[in-house]
Chain A
Amino acid sequence: MSWLPDATLAHLRDVGEWPDLSGTRYEVVREIGRGGMGVVYEARDRVLERDVAIKVLSRVGTTRAALPDRLRDEARILATLEHPGIVPVHDLGVLPDRRVFSVMKLVRGRRLDEASRDGGLTGALSLFERVCHAVAFAHSRGIVHRDLKPANVMIGAFGEVLVLDWGVAKLLGDESGATSGGPGESRPRRQAAGNTEPGTVMGTPGYMAPEQARGDNHQVDERTDVFALGGILQLLLTGASEPRRGGSEGWDARPRGIPPALLAVCRKARAERPADRYSSVDQLADEIRRFLNELPVSAHSESVAERAGRFVRRHRLPIGLIAAYLAMRLALIWLGGS
């Protein structure tokens, strides 16, 4: 009998689950991530000689009948989303064991929550605003992500923001079928979306909106992603590992060091009832932009002191110059008097 060293045993355990890509142009290099929906591998495209990411449905603990369609749906949805903040799909195929795989751009970078620690609050909010823009683009195409969380947002080597894993995305629209946009605008057909049965819960606790957690999928819309983005914002502000469940109840009364305006934005995004949240991600992004520009946000009623403080910060340079001028005048008066 062959004696196998530990490293070989580990390799055999890995490759025992690797997809059989014989007959394709790809070869697996290593596993780079796994979740409830599938396993992601780094792979090599031998034809174009480039590295790619291959996502394969995981068989363990999955509903075998439903998920291949879901992965196909994801790739087809992604194919309609051409945006620099959304990871493009290159290819789609079926393995000999009938698992579906999709080939995507390989993103090398860091998770949003890791990358956001470098630039302080302003840097984190700027990244968050760009995430909002990518999600808002998907919403403009009638697609809701439904699983937004820091693990699904990568910051590339050149600072590019990329929203990943559209595996549980849902296409919004009426029940009749196609959801057409304006003249000349093509929108994806309804059957290309994740048509989730009522009562089916998909998403990640802590980021999942109450209507999603209840499995009330007819209630799921853009505001469901607003709730998840509120969770990401909360995480970026507090540095906690995961936002607590619930809306405003999930917050401490006044977390230290967080500006009240941002706290209010976060609370509004994570409101229990969809009607109490921002009605669109654009609105949420706009609030962040206003905060960064020292402008008032709609979610927060400022006190006089807050307004004065914001006014000073916003007009720091002219106020500084006036103060310096006045100080100089006072000094001259005092010197002249003495």
Chain B
Amino acid sequence: MAGVGSRDPETKRRSFEALAQAYWRPVYKYLRLRWHAGPEEAEDLTQELFARAFEKDYFRRFDPRRARFRTYLRTCVDGLVANERQSARRAKRGGGATLVPFDFVAAELELDRQDPVVADDEEYFRQEWIRGLFGSAVETLRQRCEARGRLEWYDVFVRYDLHDEAVGARPTYRELGDTLGVSVTDVTNRLAAMRRQFRGIVVEQLEAQCGGPDEVEAELAYLFGRGAP
């Protein structure tokens, strides 16, 4: 977050990419569900938001003492949509280079699996941010495990912590050990290691998104310690 205002173009670009990667999904889905934008309009507005923010340094105006960044971003989205729709002067976009490639097709598939009703804008945006953050951390964890030849450790994490409760009850450590042919102690140790790494990756991502250690600490307290949202 701090790098967004950097004078070094490379630092600024990297920081901006981290923010865009973390927040484009919540923005797109929010546009689709809260503003009932069609896929094409939502794609355009998402691209527009981040393109404008990069070009005009919108995110430098963010004051962490007043609100969380996601709240600020959501109000930016609301303002953008209101302006665009009210003036009806949405010009055909394009031409500008896409800063970060957004996988809108994947986002649409995710929308098919979700409740289409948004009861609380703030809560929805927050939940989608967590989904993006954790989803990305899980993917990073998988890549790191693969690189270290520890995919069987990751498998324990997937089968236990990523277990979809809609499918059935979460297995016990013993059941999991029997399935994988390892001891209960191994299951415990692997899960503990995976959780530690998962949390570490989340911290890395928050450090890339947040303005400083205090904000990272506050977000961690919210995510894992029942702190204020």
Contact = CB atoms under 8 A, between A and B. Distances in A.
A9 to B, nearest CB: 6
A293 B155 CA distance: 65
B162 A4 contact: yes
Q: How large is the interface on B (under 10, 10 to 19, 20 to 34, 35 or more residues)?
A: 35 or more
A4 B106 CA distance: 13
A2 interface: yes
B195 A20 contact: yes
B139 A2 contact: yes
Interface in A272-330: none
A5 B164 contact: yes
From A6, A12, A17, residue with most partner B Cβ within 10 Å: A12
Nearest to B132: A1
B131 A12 contact: no
Contact of B134 (A4, A27, A46, A59): A4
B163 interface: yes
B27 interface: no
Contacts of B135: 1-4
Contacts of A20: 192, 195-196
Contact of B138 (A2, A15, A16, A34): A2
A133 to B, nearest CB: 35
Contacts of B173: 27
Interface string B211-229: 0000000000101111100
Interface in B139-166: 139, 142, 161-166
Contact of A21 (B163, B164, B192, B202): B192
Contacts of B196: 20
A338 interface: no
Given A16-B202, A20-B196, 20 more contacts: A1-B135, A1-B138, A2-B135, A2-B138, A4-B131, A7-B166, A8-B161, A8-B162, A8-B163, A8-B165, A9-B131, A11-B161, A12-B161, A13-B130, A15-B195, A16-B223, A18-B195, A22-B189, A27-B173, A58-B225
18 contacts: A1-B135, A2-B138, A2-B139, A2-B142, A3-B109, A3-B113, A6-B127, A7-B166, A8-B164, A8-B165, A13-B223, A17-B225, A18-B195, A21-B192, A22-B192, A22-B193, A27-B184, A27-B188
Interface of A: 1-9, 11-13, 15-18, 20-23, 27, 34, 46, 58-60
